Amino acid sequence: MTTTEIAATTQLPLVSDPRNPGLPLDMAWVRAATANRSAIERRCASLPARRSVKKDYQAAWLLKAITCIDLTTLAGDDTAERVRRLCAKARQPLRADLLAALGFDSLHTGAVCVYHEMVAPAVAALKGSGIPVAAVSTGFPAGLSPFALRLAEIGESVAAGAEEIDIVISRRHVLEGNWQALYDEMRLFREACGEAHVKAILATGELGTLKNVARASLVCMMAGADFIKTSTGKEAVNATLPVSLVMIRAIRDYYDRTGIRVGYKPAGGISKAKDALVYLSLIKEELGDRWLQPDLFRFGASSLLGDIERQLEHHVTGAYSAGYCHAAG
């Protein structure tokens, strides 16, 4: 895929699929889900070496990656001004001269992701851009606040204008094998979101086994999650290729059985352009081209865009700039 082809597909209006309505909890399906760690790790280890793209093709895929970034700031010292700068970056992630050289008139990220307190300034800064605001919710990142407050937090963010809600599941339900409790919790989160799309953060680094990841993925999809997401970015271990492969195959299994497409979002630790290329190739091989659109695939990232910019500038000019030339906002 060349930059011209990427430009054409990126600038076409996107026809989204129907939302995932969910289905009753199917414990036979959940219990049948498993994961062969050694086979998964072999598959993931082979991917970076086998799927390398260069020159125009690499530039094209990096442009695609930009459209799938949830540009994120989740720091305790966030301010409205920082969020406004981040939103300006989301609106124009590349310099105008680089965009022109790559065959684009315009380009923007998939979303901007913030805490609830920053939803209002983000919505104001993105007005008219078509870029949605995603809010982390439900006691992010631990998810251990009182349940009524977690539901109320969703409602507050939706009322403030968030179009996507990134919720965190209760990890204890997975670790205890209490799949009914996880399903019921996720179902209530989905209902509280209303028209806002819900991304279920599994916090996979805290779930113990890949089998647990597979089962938690299925349960959240059965309960109506529009996306499943690896991590909060605050755990010791965040997005990894083995975890991603397990979650992606759960999505594929769900689609094969129901005909409903659910999105995928790896988050935390993806900061290099070369890593983005590997994730995109994994999605293409396991799920197909339809999942390479921002309504079904996102990177949760804060620094990834800077490295992609740097690589694209090198592609256009033949010279590398310093990393500090590509601030997030």
The one catalytic residue in 166, 226, 295, 307 is: 166
In CATH, which superfamily holds the domain spanning 3-8+26-325? Aldolase class I (3.20.20.70)
229 classed as catalytic: yes
The one catalytic residue in 64, 89, 199, 229 is: 229
Please list, in sequence order, all residues whose beta carbon lies within 8 angstroms of the beta carbon of residue 62, skipping any fewer than 6 positions away.
273, 276, 277, 308, 311, 312
55 classed as catalytic: no
pLDDT at residue 133, rounded to an integer: 98
pLDDT at residue 68, rounded to an integer: 98
The one catalytic residue in 64, 265, 275, 295 is: 265
pLDDT at residue 11, rounded to an integer: 45
Residue 3, Cβ density class (10 Å: 0-12 exposed, 13-18 middle, ≥19 buried): buried
Sort strands 299-301 and 263-265 into parallel, antiparallel or unpaired.
unpaired
Cis, bond preceding 141 (omega within 30 deg of 0): yes
pLDDT at residue 13, rounded to an integer: 44
166 classed as catalytic: yes
Tell me the β-bridge partners of 180.
none
Both structure tokens of 110: 């998939």
pLDDT string in tens for the chain (329-residue length) = 555 555 445 544 455 789 999 999 999 999 999 999 999 999 999 888 766 788 899 999 999 999 999 999 999 999 999 999 999 999 999 999 999 999 998 899 999 999 999 999 999 999 999 999 999 999 999 999 999 999 999 999 999 999 999 999 999 999 999 999 999 999 999 999 999 999 999 999 999 999 999 999 999 999 999 999 999 999 999 999 999 999 999 999 999 999 999 999 999 999 999 999 999 999 999 999 999 999 999 999 989 999 999 999 999 998 877 666 666 65
Residue 200 near residue 225, CB atoms below 8 Å: yes
Say which DSSP state 290 is in. Answer: G
